[in-house]
Amino acid sequence: MRLFTASPNQRRTVYFSLVAFLVFFPLGIMAYKLFVLDYPLAGLIPAVSYSTDVTMQVTGHGDDMMLRTYLPRSDFRQTVTEEANASGAFTLTFENDGLNRVGVWRGERVTGTHTLHYTYTAQGTHVRYVIPDHLEIPQVYPAGLKEYLASEEGVPVSDPLIAQTTAQLFPKGKPTILEAVTTIHRFLQDQFANRDFSGYTDALTALKLREASCNGKSRLFVALARKMNLPARLVGGVVMESGSKRTSHQWVEVYVNGHWVPFDTINNHYMELPANFLTLYYGDQVLFRHSTNVNFQYHFNMNKRLVPKREVQNKLRDSVLNIFNLYDVFQRIGISANLLKIILMIPFGALVVVIFRNVVGMETFGTFLPALIASAARETGLVWGLLAFFTIILVCSFVRRALDWLHLLHSPKMGIMLTLVVLIILGLTVLGVNLSLFDLAHVSLFPIAIMAITAERFAIMEAEQGLGKAMKIMLATLVVITACYVVMDSLFLQSLVLAFQELLLVLIALNLWLGKWVGMRLTEFLRFRYLILRGEEVK
Amino acid sequence: MLDWKGWIEVAKNWSRLKSNTHRVLAMNRRNLHLIYPNNPRRFFPQADDKIYTKEIMEKAGVPVPKTHRVYRYFYQLESLESDFEGVKDFVIKPAHGKQGGGIRVISERQGNDWVEVSGERHTTEDIKAHIYDIIFGIYSFDLHDQALIEERLIQHEEVNWLSPGGLADIRVILLKGKPVMAMTRLPTKASHGKANLHQGALGVGIDMATGRTIRAIHHGREVFHHPDTGREVVGAVLPYWSEVLSVARRAAEAVDLGYLGVDISLTPQGPSLLEINARPGLEIQNANLTGIMERLAEPAEGLFEY
């Protein structure tokens, strides 16, 4: 039945009006957001976070074992999310130790070598303080700050050498707070050599040698500050950067008028702290403690990740467009913003697939399968995603051939295939966890039914057109998955579409345009090259 | 696609290729300018359902292989033994099969067994299981299907000389009732007796006026001889050529599809229609070294380009 008929002219008018609307209407909303709601363009630049894997390795000889380390907390400056523990037979408990959070792993009668992982994602912000120059050093502090003025192991505030140094540094006696911290910072930064030494250095040793690593300099800073009646404390943490590292870092905070102001005299951070400094603990602590004779090893593996900022969305709240505020809608029903991001990116993946099919001319398994696999591969990472996809399809199609030999009816056979996909996915997850390949473990997010159908198609193609052809299409599918992944993983696009969801209408316009495109596909140039060039010389 | 030498040729000749694309009918244009406007979706079953196609053709007086029987339901298989009494050879086809999938050609009976043209022996139970699979929809991708049992065509001896390895067919592409281009597809050992170019059958272009074979391709490359027999396949004249074109015209007239491929086989008695295709492929252009666009007198009507 024909729903409606139309002359070519009418059809043309409708087509062009639709394309024009789908381009100009979203552009209008974007302009409104940018110029009336004053969206900050800086909000489109992604923020940096680090996924961190603290790896600890121990070897046991049949005794009970204990490991402890400080774990970061979220505060005004840093955000710690997605924490996960994978410690095998070791049980993890959390303890509070003053301001600090401690992870304690205990194992009973441990033999052999074990690797423990604690992972989290951390995002920091850069902070900078300004101390008014007239601020005097107070005579008295609240009782709670007493410990930050006292002598302690390694920080002998009342040692004559410390008093002699402050006397030299402040010959006129009473400096302001700013003068005091500036002088101490410059003294340690400029007159002490940095040493790359991982052992313990106390304040006096550092002072005598005129050189120290971060912990020696920090202890001396604290000792001098406390001597000047400025509450000060050591801070331990890591400098986040991509790669594997075994070094932690220490710096100093001085209490000024209700704020703890940071100083790092190794890297010359004066009253400021960069965004990639992650605080793990306060006070003069040892980062890792463990039972003796366990051959303890550790390292931090960090990966820099970019995440889209969401601040721009807040602008929407106060405007008439707020009914389209997807963030609020998703938040109200408790669905994560991450899922929203994935959903918003799927049309981009679909566009990539359309281009590969109709412009490049690559045949893939399933029309939009590559876009779906690419979105599922966000959690596994591209390489593991491709490998898992390839393995699942190959194993399932092999089993399908075996089932074919048994002459089973179609639906029960597909039921078996689906179950098999589930089993393989569970197997890969278990394998991933046991081999500490946590990215691989996320393979459980793969679209199970679609995988089973794809395996079926692969098997049919292999039977009808040979393994070569099936593998060719498999390869093309992997290529298109990769392309979808790259586009869907683009933080620029993510940030853009999170801020301007109306861009999805432009995607419809692009598809309308591609839907009328009758040009030759790239692979057709290969296929018909002799026909097109017939009678002419082929170079 | 992994043909890197081919890609180098494409790159080197890019500007000349780009400026001559109008000769070729490519996939996007075929779909948008020929199939969608000429073949409304509701008429697709006329081509996709082989039983329906045969009904239409029989009514229009187009010669088709005789139907022995159609199995629609599982219970009908109970009478299979008696149904096949006295039958020596036959072909089993799924009504909705694609690219020759599920077709079995039985050439003789030996005792209780049936022998396929390939030489493979099947018991009656095997045949029953195969028909069962067809009805269940194995070859039509999840649709409940019907199994068509029909007469096995004997090939004209001149065609048999060209194609001793299996039943050759002649594909004629027609637009609005007018034949546009033709080729014959010759099965090979590699294609397991199937006239399917992807599986390794030869594609042989035909001069429309005379029925003479003008060019042959095998896996996309030009050849002159049959890979199995070594016989020359270019320069032969197909018998009954004007009848072939007339059967193709009558078949196209009998259906509501404006752009279609008609597959015909040549028997000693003349052409017989095997099936029709509402989405005929593009490789026929390579077999003829001629683009379909070059044969279309005027651009398709009722379309707009941007």
DSSP codes joined into one string, A274-319: -TTEEEEEESS--SEEE-SSS--EEEEEEEEEEE---HHHHGGGGS
Q: Residue A517: its pLDDT value, please?
A: 92
- What DSSP character marks residue B146? -
- What DSSP character marks residue A41? G
- 3-state secondary structure (DSSP) of residue A81: strand
Q: Residue A300: its pLDDT value, please?
A: 92
Task: Check CB contact of A401 with chain B, cutoff 8 Å.
Answer: no
Q: Which residue is it, tokens 């997807």?
A: A326
Q: Residue A534: its pLDDT value, please?
A: 84
DSSP string, A446-468: S-HHHHHHHHHHHHHHHHHHHHH
In chain A, residues with a C-beta closer than 8 Å to the C-beta of B32 are: 516, 518
- CA within 13 Å, CB half, B173: 25
Subunit contact A538:B199, Cβ cutoff 8 A = no
In chain B, residues with a C-beta closer than 8 Å to the C-beta of A480 are: none
Question: From the list A472, A513, A534, which residue is nearest B1 (CB)?
Answer: A472
Q: Which residue is it, tokens 């579409």?
A: A497
Subunit contact A472:B6, Cβ cutoff 8 A = no
Report the distance separating Cα B249 and Cα B235, nearest Å: 25
Treating both helix axes as pointing N-terminal to C-terminal, what angle do A382-405 and A448-488 enclose, rounded to 10 degrees? 150
φ/ψ (deg, to 5) at B75? -65, -25
Subunit contact A520:B24, Cβ cutoff 8 A = yes
Q: Residue A313: its pLDDT value, please?
A: 60
Report the distance separating Cα B181 and Cα B285, nearest Å: 8
Report yes or no on whether pTM surpasses 0.80: no
Quote the mean pLDDT of chain B.
89
Q: Residue A194: its pLDDT value, please?
A: 87
Question: From the list A1, A464, A516, which residue is nearest B306 (CB)?
Answer: A516
- Triad B11, B17, B19: Cα angle to 5°: 130
Q: Residue B297: its pLDDT value, please?
A: 64
Distance in Å, alpha carbon of A383 to nearest chain B alpha carbon: 22
Task: Give me the residues paired with residue A307 across strands.
Answer: A47
Task: Check CB contact of A530 with chain B, cutoff 8 Å.
Answer: yes
User: Chain A: residue nearest B31 by CA?
Assistant: A518
Report the distance separating Cα B80 and Cα B124, nearest Å: 8
Question: From the list A362, A407, A516, which residue is nearest B32 (CB)?
Answer: A516
In chain A, residues with a C-beta closer than 8 Å to the C-beta of B1 are: 362, 472, 476, 523, 526
Own/partner pairs for A93-100, CB < 8 Å, 24+ apart? A95/A68, A98/A282, A98/A283, A99/A281, A99/A282, A99/A283, A100/A70, A100/A280, A100/A281, A100/A282, A100/A283, A100/A285
Element (H, E) at B259: strand B259-267
In chain B, residues with a C-beta closer than 8 Å to the C-beta of A465 are: 198-199
Task: Check CB contact of A358 with chain B, cutoff 8 Å.
Answer: yes
- What DSSP character marks residue A176? B
Take residue A398 and report the two structure tokens written for it. 């092999």
In a structure prediction context, what are the per-residue pLDDT tens digits for chain B, which is 306 residues long?
Answer: 578 899 999 999 999 999 888 889 999 999 999 999 999 999 999 999 999 999 999 999 999 999 989 999 888 888 888 888 878 889 999 998 877 788 888 888 888 888 988 788 888 888 888 898 888 887 876 668 999 999 999 999 999 999 998 899 999 999 999 999 999 999 998 888 888 888 889 999 999 999 999 999 999 889 999 999 999 999 999 999 999 999 999 999 999 999 999 999 999 999 999 999 999 999 999 999 999 998 886 544 444 433
In chain B, residues with a C-beta closer than 8 Å to the C-beta of A474 are: none
List per-block mean pLDDT (blocks of 10 residues) for chain A, which spans 539 residues.
65 92 93 80 75 91 92 90 85 91 92 90 90 90 91 91 91 89 92 84 90 90 93 94 89 93 93 94 92 89 76 62 67 72 90 95 88 87 90 89 80 87 90 77 82 85 81 93 93 82 93 93 93 79
Taking a contact as any Cβ pair under 8 Å apart, which residues of chain A between 434 and 473 contact chain B? 464-466, 469, 472
Q: Counting runs of H as helices and runs of E as strands, what totals does chain A give? A: 17, 16
**E runs forming strands in B87-244:** 90-94, 104-110, 113-116, 121-122, 147-150, 169-175, 178-186, 202-206, 213-218, 221-223
CA neighbor of B75 nearest in space, from B127, B123, B132, B126 = B132
pLDDT digits 0-9 by tens, B250-303: 999 999 999 999 999 999 999 999 999 999 999 999 999 999 998 886 544 444
Identify the burial level of A112 via C-beta atoms within 10 angstroms of its C-beta, where 0-12 means exposed, 13-18 middle and 19 or more buried.
Answer: exposed
Subunit contact B28:A521, Cβ cutoff 8 A = yes
φ/ψ (deg, to 5) at B304? -130, 150
Please report, for chain A, the start and end positions of each structural domain, with discontinuous segments joined by +.
47-125+289-307, 127-274, 336-499
In chain B, residues with a C-beta closer than 8 Å to the C-beta of A18 are: none
Q: Tell me the CA end-to-end span of chain A in Å, nearest whole number.
A: 52
Q: Does domain A127-274 have CATH number 3.10.620.30?
A: yes
In chain B, residues with a C-beta closer than 8 Å to the C-beta of A407 are: 129, 133
Element (H, E) at A270: strand A269-270
Count the Cβ atoms, other than its own, within 10 Å of residue B228: 15
Q: Residue A411: its pLDDT value, please?
A: 80
pLDDT digits 0-9 by tens, B66-90: 998 999 988 888 888 888 887 888 9
Tell me the residue type at B200: G
Task: Check CB contact of A523 with chain B, cutoff 8 Å.
Answer: yes
- 3-state secondary structure (DSSP) of residue A64: strand
Subunit contact A531:B137, Cβ cutoff 8 A = no
Pair type for strands A193-194 and A211-212: parallel
User: What residue spans of chain B are helical by DSSP H?
Assistant: 4-12, 14-19, 27-29, 36-38, 45-48, 50-60, 80-83, 124-136, 157-162, 241-254, 284-288, 292-295
Fold of the domain spanning A47-125+289-307: Immunoglobulin-like (2.60.40)
Strands of the sheet containing B147-150, edge to edge, are B67-71, B147-150, B90-94, B104-110, B113-116, B121-122
* CA distances from residue B33 to A79, A288, B110, B216 in whole angstroms, order as listed: 57, 72, 52, 28
In chain A, residues with a C-beta closer than 8 Å to the C-beta of B137 are: 410
Report the distance separating Cα B20 and Cα B33, nearest Å: 19
Q: Residue B301: its pLDDT value, please?
A: 44
